[in-house]
């Protein structure tokens, strides 16, 4: 058997797990591991400029592929810098393995240089964590970390490794386990057939059904099954912010995103539904609005891999614990076999009602109240120029909501955003993580002048590795989303929501060796964007001036029901 040091085992285990790229930043506690990394070529390391970016790159890789991404950060400040990224992945159930250096084991607890209790600090935002206490355990711990991160409801796993566990002179037998069993962890592999039958019986009786599908469909690789079921039932489908692309965005049966900034027709349909089939969604507060007023006439079927998500905020009438893919497959089979078919007249008149709603609002916005370009126009143009086929990695703010509303995602895993934590600074590293793994695809970062500055240093990483992503910066010269709330609830007292002294983004991009473009007029947008995307091997930063006064609509009225919405600055439902 091969004899390897702890440091070598870390890298070898990653290789044996099939990892191609790891994203990281070195430091004292990791020097042995970085030395082992240097002496091999199979696992490629990407040097970021801030550890947060490493975690977002790993996270975005996972969102695009379904496989755990890997970040490597040193102890102390390296580890704490990674926390935001770990929390981001945790909130969206994204598989990730974060390896953190730690001070030597005999120094732990002594406030040693760069010591942080990473297991403690990360505890509330990880699915699980391991602290290595014997170098021999490294292969099995790494195997367990991947198994836990990727199975069941996925999530980030931290592996904390004290420096002396990686000592190059101590060598051990190395064997990477083929599989692993944990007596205390057995995620469900299939849903309860009786419950699934009961659910389908109810679905086939429904007169006003809505399928409400979330990120579980994306991470659970179930969008084909979801689409098939929806088609068989002729039922309207709404996606959560995390679920976009889980059902084709340009299909007639797609009624848009739901929730706080959901479409008028999706929120209306939810409110009036008599049956909601929730799949891989968690009835989060940005979806339900006031829980006491939530969907008063609906029976609720809730399919989720995590039993704790079921009946957490909204009581389910039929809970089904299981992987979305399997449960939906079984549902499709049952509908096909069933003598009972959907109630045609009822479903037809339900569609008539939904089409009326769609015609009434259906994503319209004004272009005549400002001479500035509208952010929505930019996203629609982006959708057109990239043929709705790009990986769109978003930051957080109004631009994120516009991207979610106006970019039509026809495929899963292409809309990559921080939904649960809402992490500004996510977009650029996320785009980098995707592009490195899909070099032939268009990868876009939709951002604002606020968010982009939270990880702008990564323009340097982009130069180093030549990662030609396209940045679409909707520059409204303000923290637009904050400003919108201040307009609506604080009589437009714009406390600290301006972005003053903005840099010249064109020059900034150029300083890093990239292409910068400034677009001020809508007439110039299509040509500029087309040019930007024609520069296949260059990173292009498009600084696009948009109307600073625009708001995102619809917007639900706080604590109201699903259907209580502002539709524009002056209209309310």
Partner 1 sequence: MRHIISVLMENEPGALSRVVGLFSQRNFNIESLTVAPTEDSTLSRLTVTTIGSDRVIEQITKQLNKLIDVVKVVDLTEGDHIERELMMIKLKATGQMRAEIKRTADIFRGQIIDVTPNTYTVQLTGASDKLDAFIQTLGTTNIMEVVRTGVSGLSRGEKVLSL
**Which amino acids are annotated catalytic?**
51, 113-114, 163, 481
Contacting range for partner 1; rule: CB under 8 A; set: 41-49, 115-123, 381-389, 475-483: 115-123
Cβ distance to Mg ion smaller for residue 199 or 546: 546
Rounded Cα distance between 330 and 332, Å, is 5
Residue 119 Cβ vs partner 1, minimum distance, rounded to whole Å:
6
What is the rounded distance in angstroms from the CA atom of residue 184 to the CA atom of residue 177? 18
The strand pair at 69-73 and 318-321 is best described as: unpaired
Site string for partner 1, 139-178 (x = CB under 8 A): ---------x------------------------------
Residues 372-431 that bind ligand TPP (CB under 6 A): 395-399, 422-425
How far is Cα 487 from Cα 401, in angstroms, rounded to an integer? 17
Query: Largest Cα–Cα distance of the chain, in whole Å?
Result: 76
- Residue 498 is classified by DSSP as B
Residue 234 zone, left/alpha/beta (φ > 0; ψ -120 to 50; rest): left
User: For ligand TPP, what does the binding mask look like between residues 340 and 369, x meaning CB under 6 A?
Assistant: ------------------------------
Q: Could you say whether residue 119 binds partner 1 (CB under 8 A)? A: yes
- Cα 437 from Cα 451, distance rounded (Å): 24
Nearest distance in Å: CB 84, ligand TPP: 7
Phi, psi of 299 (to 5 degrees): -85, 145
Which residue's CB is nearer to Mg ion, number 4 or number 454? 454
**For ligand TPP, the closer CB: 455 or 561:** 455
Residue 185 makes contact with partner 1 by CB under 8 A: yes
Q: Residue 25 CB, nearest distance to ligand TPP (Å)?
A: 19
Q: How many CA atoms lie within 13 A of 254 on its CB side?
A: 22
Distance CA 442, CA 434 (A): 10
Out of 127, 208, 272, 470, the residue judged to bind partner 1 by CB under 8 A: 127
Residues 18-47 that bind ligand TPP (CB under 6 A): none
Q: Closest distance between partner 1 and the C-beta of residue 304, in Å?
A: 11
Q: Which two tokens stand for residue 483?
A: 């400003």
Three-class HEC string of 195-247: HHHHHHHHHHHCCCEEEEECHHHHHCCCHHHHHHHHHHHCCCEEECCCCCCCC
Q: Work out how close the CB of 127 gets to ligand TPP at its nearest, in angstroms, rounded to a whole number.
A: 22
- Residue 131 touches which member of Mg ion, partner 1, ligand TPP, none, C-beta under 5-8 Å by kind: partner 1
Chain CA centroid to CA 241, Å:
9
**25, β-bridge pairs:** 73
Region of 40-48, 119-127, 200-208, 431-439 interacting with partner 1 (CB under 8 A): 119-127
- For ligand TPP, the binding residues in 462-521 under the rule CB under 6 A are 474, 476, 478-482
Spatial distance between the Cα atoms of 87 and 76, rounded to a whole number of angstroms: 17
Contacts with ligand TPP: how many residues (CB under 6 A)?
A: 20
CA 310/CA 306 separation, integer angstroms: 7
Whole-number Cα distances in Å, 173 to 14, 45, 105, 130, 418: 16, 25, 21, 21, 41
Q: How many CB atoms lie within 10 A of CB 457?
A: 16
Least distance CB 320 / ligand TPP (angstroms): 33
Q: Nearer to ligand TPP by C-beta: 11 or 403?
A: 403
For residue 130, the cross-strand partners are: 159
Closer CB to ligand TPP, 129 or 451, in the complex: 451
The answer to whether 68 and 149 have CB atoms below 8 angstroms apart is yes
468 by Cβ neighbours in 10 Å (0-12 / 13-18 / 19+) ranks as: middle
- Find all residues with CB under 8 Å of 111, minimum gap 6, and list them: none
Shortest distance, position 475 Cβ to ligand TPP, whole Å: 8
209 binds, among Mg ion, ligand TPP, partner 1, none (CB under 5 to 8 A by kind): none
181 binds partner 1 (CB under 8 A): no
The verdict on 165 binding ligand TPP (CB under 6 A) reads no
Contacts of 439 (CB under 8 A, 6+ apart): none
How far is it, in rounded angstroms, from Cα 275 to Cα 252? Answer: 20
Considering the rule CB under 8 A, would residue 308 count as an interface residue with partner 1? yes
Residue 124 binds which one of partner 1, ligand TPP, Mg ion, none, with CB within 5 to 8 A depending on kind?
partner 1
What residue ranges bind Mg ion (CB under 5 A)?
Answer: 448-450, 476, 480
CB of 155 to partner 1, least distance (A): 10
User: Smallest distance from the beta carbon of 425 to ligand TPP, in angstroms?
Assistant: 6
Measured from the CB atom, is 398 or 573 closer to ligand TPP?
398
Binding mask 422-461 for ligand TPP (x = CB under 6 A): xxxx----------------------xxxx----------
Number of residues that bind partner 1 (CB under 8 A): 19
Residue closest to Mg ion (Cβ): 448
Between 54 and 83, how does the x/- string for binding to partner 1 read (CB under 8 A)?
------------------------------
Backbone conformation region of residue 447, classed left if phi is above 0, alpha if psi is from -120 to 50, else beta:
beta
**Beta pairing partners, 239:** 213, 257
Give the pair of three-digit tokens for residue 96: 């990730």
Binding partner 1 (rule: CB under 8 A), the pick from 15, 128, 207, 293 is 128
Report the nearest approach of partner 1 to the CB of residue 124 (Å). 5
Question: In the complex with partner 1, which residue's Cβ is closer, 27 or 152?
Answer: 152
Rounded distance, CA 67 to CA 94, Å?
9
Q: What is the distance between the alpha carbons of residues 307 and 63, in angstroms, rounded to a whole number?
A: 22
Choice between 423 and 561, CB closer to ligand TPP:
423
**228, two tokens:** 């098939």
Q: Which does 482 bind (CB under 5 to 8 A by kind): ligand TPP, partner 1, Mg ion, none?
A: ligand TPP
Sites of contact with ligand TPP (CB under 6 A)? 395-399, 422-425, 448-451, 474, 476, 478-482
Sites of contact with partner 1 (CB under 8 A)? 119-120, 123-124, 127-129, 131, 148, 182-185, 306-308, 311-312, 315
């Amino acid at each position: 058997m091969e004899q390897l040091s702890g440091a070598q085992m870390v890298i070898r285990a990653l290789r044996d797990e099939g990892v191609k790229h790891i994203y990281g930043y070195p430091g004292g506690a990791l020097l042995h591991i970085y030395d082992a990394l240097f002496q091999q070529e199979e696992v490629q390391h990407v040097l970021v400029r801030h550890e947060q970016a490493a975690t977002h790159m790993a996270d975005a890789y996972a969102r695009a592929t379904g496989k755990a991404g890997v970040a490597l950060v040193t102890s102390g400040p390296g580890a704490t810098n990674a926390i935001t990224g770990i929390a981001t992945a945790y909130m969206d159930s994204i598989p990730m393995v974060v390896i953190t250096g730690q001070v030597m084991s005999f120094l732990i607890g002594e406030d040693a240089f760069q010591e942080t209790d990473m297991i403690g600090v990360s505890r509330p935002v990880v699915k699980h964590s391991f602290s290595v206490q014997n170098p021999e355990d490294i292969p099995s711990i790494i195997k367990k970390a991947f198994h836990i991160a990727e199975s069941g409801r996925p999530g980030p796993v931290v592996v904390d490794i004290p420096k002396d566990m990686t000592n190059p002179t101590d060598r051990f037998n190395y064997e990477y386990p083929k599989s692993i069993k944990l007596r205390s962890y057995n995620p469900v592999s299939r849903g309860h057939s009786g419950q699934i039958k009961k659910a389908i019986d109810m679905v086939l009786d429904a007169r006003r059904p809505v399928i409400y599908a979330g990120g579980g469909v994306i991470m659970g690789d179930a969008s084909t099954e979801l689409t098939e079921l929806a088609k068989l039932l002729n039922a309207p489908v709404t996606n959560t912010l995390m679920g976009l692309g889980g059902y084709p965005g340009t299909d007639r049966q797609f009624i848009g995103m739901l929730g706080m900034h959901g479409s008028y027709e999706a929120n209306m349909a939810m409110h009036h539904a008599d049956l909601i089939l929730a799949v891989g969604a968690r009835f989060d507060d940005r979806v339900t609005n006031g829980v006491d007023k939530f969907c008063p006439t609906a029976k609720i079927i809730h399919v989720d891999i995590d039993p704790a998500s079921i009946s957490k905020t909204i009581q389910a009438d039929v809970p089904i614990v299981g992987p979305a893919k399997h449960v939906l497959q079984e549902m499709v089979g049952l509908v096909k076999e069933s003598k009972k078919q959907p109630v045609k007249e009822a479903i037809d008149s339900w569609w008539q009602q939904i089409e009326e709603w769609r015609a009434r609002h259906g994503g319209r916005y004004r272009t005549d109240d400002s001479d500035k370009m509208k952010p929505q126009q930019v996203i629609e143009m982006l959708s057109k120029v990239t043929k709705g086929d790009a990986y769109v990695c978003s930051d957080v703010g109004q631009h994120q909501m516009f991207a979610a509303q106006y970019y039509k995602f026809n495929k899963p895993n292409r809309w990559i955003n921080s939904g649960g934590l809402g992490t500004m600074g996510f977009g650029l590293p996320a785009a980098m993580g995707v592009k490195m793994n899909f070099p032939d695809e268009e990868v876009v970062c939709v951002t604002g002048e606020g968010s982009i500055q939270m990880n702008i240093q990564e323009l340097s990483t982009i130069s180093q590795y030549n990662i030609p992503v396209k940045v679409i910066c909707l520059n409204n010269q303000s923290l637009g989303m904050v400003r919108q709330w201040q307009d609506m609830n604080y009589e437009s007292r714009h406390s600290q929501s301006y972005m003053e002294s903005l840099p010249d983004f064109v020059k900034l991009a150029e300083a890093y060796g990239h292409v910068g473009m400034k677009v001020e007029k809508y007439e110039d947008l299509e040509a500029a964007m087309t040019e930007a995307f024609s520069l296949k091997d260059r990173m292009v930063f498009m600084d696009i001036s948009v109307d600073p006064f625009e708001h995102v609509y619809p917007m639900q009225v706080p604590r109201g029901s699903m259907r209580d919405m502002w539709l524009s600055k002056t209209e309310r439902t």
